[in-house]
Structure formats: C-alpha cells, structure tokens
A and B are shown apart, each in its own frame.
Chain A
C-alpha cells in the first residue's frame, strides 16, 4: 500500500474521531483566545503598537496552545494499545507519523481560521487585503509546529511528567518558527503591506528540514 494511501486512511480516522467530539478543537480555540485577551491587559495598545506586537503575541499564543494540544496525539493510542495495532498493519511506519502530523496541522489551521477575524477585531487590524498571503504564512508556520510537535509528542508519550515536558522540549526548537512567522505577519500588517520572501523561504526550509528528519528518524520512536 502506498504511503499516501496509508497516510490518508490514518488522517481520515483521526479527523473522524476529533470532529465527532470537537473537544480538542474547542478547548484549543478558547485557550488561544484567552491568552490573546490576557496579553491585552499587559500593555495598552495604540494602533502602531498593536500592529507591531499583535502578530508576535498571536504566534506565541499558538505555540503555547499547540504544545498543550499536541500532547494527546500519541497518549490517545496508549489507552487501548491501538498503537500496536497500527504498527502491526502492513503499512510504512512513517504513515502513522505523517497521518497524525497532517491531522494536527488541520486542527491547528482550523483554530487559526476561526481566530483570525477575532484577532483582527481585538487588535484593530485589517486582514482582508492581505488574506491570501496571510494564510500562506499561517500555513507554513502551522506545518512547522505540527511536524516538530507530533514527533516530540511521540517522545513525551513515553516519558513521565509529559504535560510539562512537551512544552519544555518543543518551545526552544520552535523559536525559529516564532520569529519567522511573527516577522512575516508583521510585514503584512504594516502601512505598506508586503510579504517578506526571506521569511517565507525560511519557514518553508524549516518545514522541509523537519519533515525529512521525521521521515528519517521517526520510526525509531516506536521501537520496543
């Protein structure tokens, strides 16, 4: 069976489970919203300040939310040992990682899509003129977050104190994504909106590098 088909099957299964309860999605959404609102209490945003700091805060909130939301990815498979069932199936081991990674990227992107208008309203930013380019930046940043987050959640699922360990492991690794995504987003909200191609290329490189690393080393995470 091809990698694409196996990944598709696992992605479909993940989405079916999550969209049924929507627990993860709704909790993540509320968390990011809370963080954004709380941040607004810590400084008094004027228009220029909001445009300067807002995107960074959004991405920071997403990173925090992500490192909490990504935790159950593999812990969920421990309850009934379904991970063993997946490992026994005649599919490429990377399909499991890729399927879950894709699912996490979809969840995060969905949360971001719902959040964007609210974020724009809170910080008084106009997103419509730059919508396409903004979605591109969000997509690239989200893929980076989902890739490293899924791999590390497979690591922490096998460790103690996993709820605390995942953010501690993940956030330093994601520093480049935070910087790249925030800077690209700030560019889009400036007086003369522009898409900073350096950061777009950088974020793409981050994604490619870590997807490759996940492909090369990911299967070792499941060995017993």
Chain B
C-alpha cells in the first residue's frame, strides 16, 4: 500500500515545562516537567485523578495549560496545522459518529486531514482493524471493542508522528488488547512517538520503552532516571 506521506519521518518530541492546569478550585496538574524524545514509547501510569488524561489533552493541543509551556517539535512540525495533521489520539470516548457507517467515518476524517487516495487508505484501515465486512454498518451497532478498533484505525490512518492513547485497552477483550499492542508496536517501529496512559498491567505494554508515574498532578517516578520500569508498571493499578 502506498504510504500516505512521501517519507516516513521521525516521531515528534514533546517537551512539558512546569505544566499547570487548574479547573476552578481543583489543580489537576501542579508543575509537570517531562521531556519525551522522538520515537519513545512512554507509558503514563497513575491513579484516577492523577492528571493523566489532562496531560494527554494538553499534548493533543486540545487544552491550554494554566501555567507552563508545551513544545512539540520535530521534522515537519514547524507550524500548528502541520503538527495537527500528524498527531492522533485515542481516548475513552470513541471520537466517532454513531450515526455514520464505519466507512463514512473514516472517509470524513481522511478528507478532513487532506489525505490522498482516500478510498485506498480507508479500505486498508478497515482491513487492519478487522472491520472490512462491517464497513457499511452504522457505528451505533458496533460493540465497544469494535468501536475502539475503529477509533485506533482512524487515528493511525493519518500516519501520525505523535500518537496519544488514553487508556486504550478499556473495554477490549484479551484478543483486542493483543491486536492493539501489535499495532502500537508497529507504529513505534516506524518511528512514531507514543504517549500512552494505562491502568493496570495488560498486553499493550509489551513494546513500552519508558514508564512515568504521575501522582496528584506531579511526576513521581520516571524510568529514565533509573527507577526500574517494571516496578513503575507493576504499581500501575487503579489503587496505586
């Protein structure tokens, strides 16, 4: 299949500098400083409310931090639309239109991202997600697992250089999780930078290269600083 973009380039690097985020009275992030290099596959662990989702949404440029700075840089990341074009996200919500078919959803986003050869790209994405036979069915009729797969296919269709995954394994059966792990590993091998928040040990963590733990809005542990990655991941359950 012809690639969407002329040459696969290196993943983006993300720099969080003293990021703060306030929601009214609540301080979700209290000064997170984190540097993610190109091509890293980072697992972000932490209890509910530790700020993982907030940090990911800031990385996706959906949320503006109340304090601090975020910088996304890399090849081809000079202007904002260029960054957006190569950034993908999968979250708890499916980011899909229930009232459109799987094919229509992919086509819409492919066109919105100005991809060439829209039909080819969409067909390939559906094939990879194992949903080719359900292409003309409304997403409303899909199971949770199928929606997650379609959601990831949508994010990967644009060949992102930065992929943000917010607890992507939620609602996936072990087979689905294995598929997700394989796809994430494939993208990682192609050089994409991946930041994934995760909850408890699961199949998806096999290709992870670094682990960071957030506690109450601050970085509590980073495997880059020597803490054993295994140890950080082991304590990544909901009660951590």
Task: Give chain A's interface residues, CB within 8 Å of chain B.
Answer: 1, 6, 9-10, 13, 16-17, 20-21, 79-82, 84-91, 223-224
Interface pair A80/B99, CB less than 8 Å apart: no
Interface pair B114/A80, CB less than 8 Å apart: no
Let me know if B91 is at the binding interface, CB within 8 A.
yes
B95, B97, B114: the one contacting A17 at CB < 8 Å is B97
Interface pair B100/A88, CB less than 8 Å apart: no
Interface pair B85/A80, CB less than 8 Å apart: no
B57, B95, B96, B113: the one contacting A90 at CB < 8 Å is B113
A-B contact pairs, 15 of them (CB 8 A): A9-B108, A13-B108, A17-B99, A17-B100, A21-B99, A79-B98, A80-B97, A82-B97, A85-B96, A86-B112, A88-B61, A88-B62, A88-B89, A89-B109, A90-B85
Task: Give chain B's interface residues, CB within 8 Å of chain A.
Answer: 57, 60-64, 81-82, 84-85, 87, 89, 91, 93-100, 104, 108-109, 111-114
In this complex, what residue of A is CB-closest to B114? A1
Interface pair B64/A90, CB less than 8 Å apart: no
Known contacts A224-B62, A224-B63, A90 near B81 by CB under 8 Å:
yes
Please, which residues of chain B bring their CB within 8 A of the CB of A21? Answer: 99
Interface pair B109/A85, CB less than 8 Å apart: yes
Interface pair B95/A81, CB less than 8 Å apart: yes
Known contacts A89-B109, A90-B85, A224-B57, A81 near B64 by CB under 8 Å:
no
Known contacts A1-B114, A90-B81, A223 near B64 by CB under 8 Å:
yes
Once bound together, how far apart are the Cα atoms of A80 and B89, in whole Å?
13
Which 7 A-B pairs rank lowest in CB-CB distance, beginning with the nearest?
A: A81-B93, A85-B95, A90-B81, A90-B85, A90-B84, A224-B63, A89-B112
A20, A85, A86: the one contacting B99 at CB < 8 Å is A20
Please, which residues of chain A bring their CB within 8 A of the CB of B85? Answer: 90
Once bound together, how far apart are the Cα atoms of A6 and B113, in whole Å?
9
B60, B94, B113: the one contacting A80 at CB < 8 Å is B94
A1, A82, A223: the one contacting B95 at CB < 8 Å is A82
Interface pair A81/B91, CB less than 8 Å apart: yes
Interface pair A91/B97, CB less than 8 Å apart: no
Q: How far does the Cβ of B158 sit from chain A's closest Cβ, in whole Å?
A: 9
A16, A80, A90: the one contacting B82 at CB < 8 Å is A90
Once bound together, how far apart are the Cα atoms of A52 and B46, in whole Å?
68
Q: Which of A9, A81, A89, A223 has the most CB of B within 10 A?
A: A89
Q: Which of B81, B91, B95, B98 has the most CB of A within 10 A?
A: B95
A9, A16, A17, A80: the one contacting B111 at CB < 8 Å is A9
Known contacts A89-B113, A224-B63, A84 near B97 by CB under 8 Å:
no
Once bound together, how far apart are the Cα atoms of A16 and B99, in whole Å?
9
Known contacts A87-B62, A90-B84, A224-B63, A6 near B95 by CB under 8 Å:
no
Interface pair B64/A9, CB less than 8 Å apart: no
Interface pair A16/B104, CB less than 8 Å apart: yes
Beyond A80-B94, A91-B81: 18 further Cβ-contacts under 8 Å?
A10-B112, A13-B100, A16-B104, A17-B100, A20-B99, A80-B93, A80-B95, A81-B95, A82-B95, A82-B97, A86-B112, A88-B84, A88-B87, A90-B113, A91-B112, A223-B64, A224-B57, A224-B63
Interface pair A84/B84, CB less than 8 Å apart: no
Q: How far does the Cβ of A84 sit from chain B's closest Cβ, in whole Å?
A: 5
Q: Which of A1, A88, A89, A223 has the most CB of B within 10 A?
A: A88
Please, which residues of chain B bring their CB within 8 A of the CB of A90? Answer: 81-82, 84-85, 112-114
Q: How far does the Cβ of A72 sit from chain B's closest Cβ, in whole Å?
A: 12
